[in-house]
């Protein structure tokens, strides 16, 4: 499916969001909202814009995704005229999103108290490493630091090696998702009361929110989770198992599923064996069971094993890379990937909008814009500035 250049569509159509900040944690929140129809106006510094424009393996390929469906305007927020222009925009918006270090907006005279006085319905979304309050608030905080402080890095990797990182910026993305949820909660509150509020999404807390029962396991039982590689201790069988052409992930840890799995192995007696008959028994004999399964799976190709697992109703899957995603029939049927027309990149594929809404589905209208591409539209049509005024602002280095 090819995306078509048109206006964004979705459940948030009719709402406007001003996006400030850069890189990923804030902009990904705005991407989600733009995917679902919000008008997103991205404010960038006149010189260079968001560094994400250059990020990627070679050609800056993060930018077309994280800035899709957004309008780009340039604005020098370090100038008084730039700050005044932003205030004019705030009077005509629903959301303002920023992910600067806490205190930056206040230094520019653009803190929540100032902006909410201009627009009491404003929902101000603030994404940062450590939140807007507390002794660490004004520290620089990247996603990787939030992942470490939130507890995720300690559990990533193998126990005999230093903590590993996941190959994506998961801390930033989690903070962005929680920021989006907070913004929509605040929107519901505004619908009832007419009053906006501030949403404070910290990267480390967003990671912490995903850490399951790790804290009470320590406070109640004195147990500290540590790195365990590819398995979750006590949950078996659930691992990546070798096949002739790679590995296949199998999750047969539930009792009823394990019975079907044992039948697929043509060893139904395993489901009655005291070592494997119950969830706790399998967990206690996890390594032994994994070795037994690996000796069996390595006699199959991935397709043979996956077909067999489907026949017996056992959850299993190939470990996908980009080529697998592009060729997979399920991906194709659901249009999970979409080809987006682009002036520079002839074969630009990216992930489609998620989640899917039955009545108001989101849409990719265009990839990331050029720097300042929408200056005339936003400043001219939205704020009513004349071409002469825009020319003076440009000459003064404001836009």
Catalytic residues: 172
Closest by CA position to 125, among listed 57, 60, 185: 185
End-to-end CA distance of the chain: 37
Closest by CA position to 391, among listed 379, 382, 381: 379
Closest by CA position to 368, among listed 28, 97, 85: 28
> What gap in Å lies between CA 207 and CA 174, rounded to an integer?
7
> What gap in Å lies between CA 20 and CA 51, rounded to an integer?
13
> What gap in Å lies between CA 61 and CA 54, rounded to an integer?
8
Exposed/middle/buried for residue 160 (C-beta within 10 Å: 0-12, 13-18, 19+): exposed
> What gap in Å lies between CA 272 and CA 26, rounded to an integer?
52
| Contacting residues for 200 by C-beta, under 8 A, at least 6 apart | 126, 128, 131, 132, 133, 182
- The number of angstroms, rounded, from the C-alpha of 194 to the middle of its chain's C-alpha atoms is 29
Exposed/middle/buried for residue 287 (C-beta within 10 Å: 0-12, 13-18, 19+): exposed
> What gap in Å lies between CA 126 and CA 95, rounded to an integer?
10
């Amino acid at each position: 499916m090819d995306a078509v250049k048109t206006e964004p569509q979705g459940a948030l159509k009719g709402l406007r969001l001003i996006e400030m900040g850069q890189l990923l944690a804030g902009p990904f929140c705005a991407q989600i909202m733009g995917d679902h129809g919000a008008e997103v106006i991205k404010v960038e510094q006149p010189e260079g814009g968001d560094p994400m424009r250059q990020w990627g393996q070679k050609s800056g390929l993060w930018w077309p995704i994280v800035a899709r469906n957004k309008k780009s305007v340039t604005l020098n927020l370090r100038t008084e005229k730039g700050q005044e222009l932003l205030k004019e925009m705030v009077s005509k918006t629903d959301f303002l999103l920023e992910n600067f270090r806490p205190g930056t907006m206040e230094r520019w005279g653009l803190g929540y108290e100032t902006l909410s006085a201009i627009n009491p319905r404003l929902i101000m979304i603030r994404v940062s490493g450590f939140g807007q309050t507390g002794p660490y608030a004004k520290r620089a905080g990247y996603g990787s630091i939030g992942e470490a402080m939130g507890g995720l890095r300690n559990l990533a990797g193998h126990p005999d090696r230093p903590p590993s990182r996941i190959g994506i910026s998961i801390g930033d993305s989690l903070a962005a998702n929680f920021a989006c949820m907070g913004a929509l909660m605040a929107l519901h509150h505004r619908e009832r009361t007419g009053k906006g509020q501030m949403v404070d999404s910290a990267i480390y807390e967003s990671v912490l929110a995903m850490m399951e029962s790790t804290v009470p396991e320590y406070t109640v039982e004195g147990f500290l989770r540590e790195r365990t590689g590819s398995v979750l201790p006590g949950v078996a069988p659930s691992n990546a198992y070798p096949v002739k052409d790679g590995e296949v992930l199998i999750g047969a840890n539930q009792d009823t599923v394990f019975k079907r799995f044992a039948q697929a192995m043509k060893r139904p007696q395993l489901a009655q064996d005291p070592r494997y008959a119950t969830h706790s028994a399998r967990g206690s004999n996890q390594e032994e069971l994994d070795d037994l399964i690996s000796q069996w799976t390595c006699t199959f190709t991935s397709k043979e094993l996956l077909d067999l697992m489907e026949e017996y109703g056992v959850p299993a899957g190939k470990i996908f890379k980009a080529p697998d995603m592009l060729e997979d029939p399920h991906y194709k049927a659901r249009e999970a990937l979409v080809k987006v027309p682009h002036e520079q990149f002839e074969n630009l594929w990216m992930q489609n909008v998620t989640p899917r809404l039955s009545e108001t589905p989101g849409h990719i209208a265009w990839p990331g814009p050029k720097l300042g591409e929408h200056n005339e539209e936003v400043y001219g049509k939205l704020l009513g500035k004349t071409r002469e005024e825009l020319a003076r602002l440009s000459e003064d280095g404001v836009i």
